[in-house]
Chains A and B, each alone.
Chain A
Amino acid sequence: MIRARIRVTLKSGILDPQGQTVSHAMENMGFRAAESCRMGKYIELDYPGDSDPQALEAEVRRVCERLLVNPNTESYELSLERLQDTAR
């Protein structure tokens, strides 16, 4: 099987109140304050192993750009990996 891994993050300069709150919680717990804390989304899509990797990547990019990512506020990274079908 081929697994597509998509990491969606807020573009720089966009306020991330969730990240700020997590960062404050770390500080309140006595941990060192991180210079920055940004939250995002992680999405895994699994496809049959006989898929053509190049065509698949192009298709997943279209899915990202049309549905999974709002280009106004978010950017994404995509990677594809071939896995043994039993691996999970």
Chain B
Amino acid sequence: MKAVVLVFPGSNCDRDTEHVLSRVAGCETRLLWHKEAELGEADLVVVPGGFSYGDYLRTGAIARFSPVMQAVERFAAEGGRVLGICNGFQILCEAGLLPGTLMTNRDLRFLCKDVHLRVEHAESPFTGACREGEVLRMPVAHHGGSFFARPETLTALEENRQVLLRYCDGQGRVTDEANPNGSLNNIAGIRNAAGNVMGLMPHPERNAESALGNAQGLKLFESLLQAAGEALPV
């Protein structure tokens, strides 16, 4: 699998993501500066976490107009797989590639901790290596991660099985106490209607190796490899 990781001014998870994709998942991976107008050969585009453009105006609002994003929009329209992590999720929402908006956390705090996530659907290219209902532990680090969508959008997201990950407790119960940021319906990660674009607030690239606590984040990258007919290197 050939992967491209975008780099905006203020991205700060680009190198971690590149490391996991190339050294752990064994993908041919390139970092790509946001001024580039072409993606080149790619099976997966990752929009990484960080604070693109200092989060000025709204998170992701300015990055979405970077030249590379037009190429990402074309890539996604042709069915290419796109994964947005944290700030990448915010950018994909601003770009209209995913529905909804990420708003300031309910308690106004910057959250940096591990959360539990319930895998809602395992039939997607992003979660295929998981079991449905499986509980994953993953870190979050954000100030604007409260998922909001208008009622009709939220209903459509649920009906079309577009919610892939929900904040839950250690037993997989989706409760208000387990909701770290006030996201509607405890939403932590969604896909688009076509199923080829996913965004999530947690950072799977930060726990993709057992040396870093647990390697549960690797399951997302493993899923993408499986969807591309490949497997993790032994």
Taking beta carbons and an 8 Å cutoff, which residues of A are in contact with B? 14-15, 17-18, 21, 67-68, 70, 72-73
Interface footprint category on B: 10 to 19
Q: Tell me if B57 counts as interface (CB < 8 A to partner A).
A: yes
Q: Tell me if B103 counts as interface (CB < 8 A to partner A).
A: yes
A73 to B93, CA, bound (A): 12
In the assembled complex, how far is the CB of residue B59 from the closest CB belonging to chain A, in whole angstroms? 10
Q: Tell me if B101 counts as interface (CB < 8 A to partner A).
A: yes
Q: Which residue of A lies closest to B182 (CB)?
A: A15
Q: A67-B65, A72-B100, A72-B150 are in contact. Are A17 and B57 (CB under 8 A)?
A: no
A67 to B101, CA, bound (A): 14
Write out the residue numbers on chain A whose beta carbons fall within 8 Å of the beta carbon of B106.
15, 17
Main secondary structure of the interface of B (DSSP, over half): loop
Q: Tell me if B124 counts as interface (CB < 8 A to partner A).
A: no
Q: A70-B58, A70-B61, A73-B148 are in contact. Are A17 and B101 (CB under 8 A)?
A: no
Q: Tell me if B107 counts as interface (CB < 8 A to partner A).
A: yes
Q: A70-B61, A72-B148 are in contact. List 5 more A-B contacts (CB 8 A).
A: A14-B103, A17-B106, A18-B108, A21-B108, A68-B57
In the assembled complex, how far is the CB of residue B16 from the closest CB belonging to chain A, in whole angstroms? 28
In the assembled complex, how far is the CB of residue A63 from the closest CB belonging to chain B, in whole angstroms? 11
Contact across chains for A14 and B61 when beta carbons are under 8 A apart: no
Q: A15-B182, A17-B106, A17-B108 are in contact. Are A73 and B57 (CB under 8 A)?
A: no
10 sampled A-B residue pairs with Cβ under 8 A: A14-B103, A14-B148, A15-B148, A17-B106, A17-B107, A17-B182, A21-B108, A68-B57, A72-B149, A73-B101
Scan B133-161; emit 1 where CB is below 8 A from any A CB, else 0.
00000000000001011100000000000
Contact across chains for B61 and A67 when beta carbons are under 8 A apart: yes
Q: A72-B101, A73-B101 are in contact. Are A67 and B148 (CB under 8 A)?
A: no
Contact across chains for B57 and A67 when beta carbons are under 8 A apart: yes
Scan B103-128; emit 1 where CB is below 8 A from any A CB, else 0.
11111100000000000000000000
In the assembled complex, how far is the CB of residue A72 from the closest CB belonging to chain B, in whole angstroms? 5
Q: Which of B65, B146, B150, B182 has the most CB of A within 10 A?
A: B150
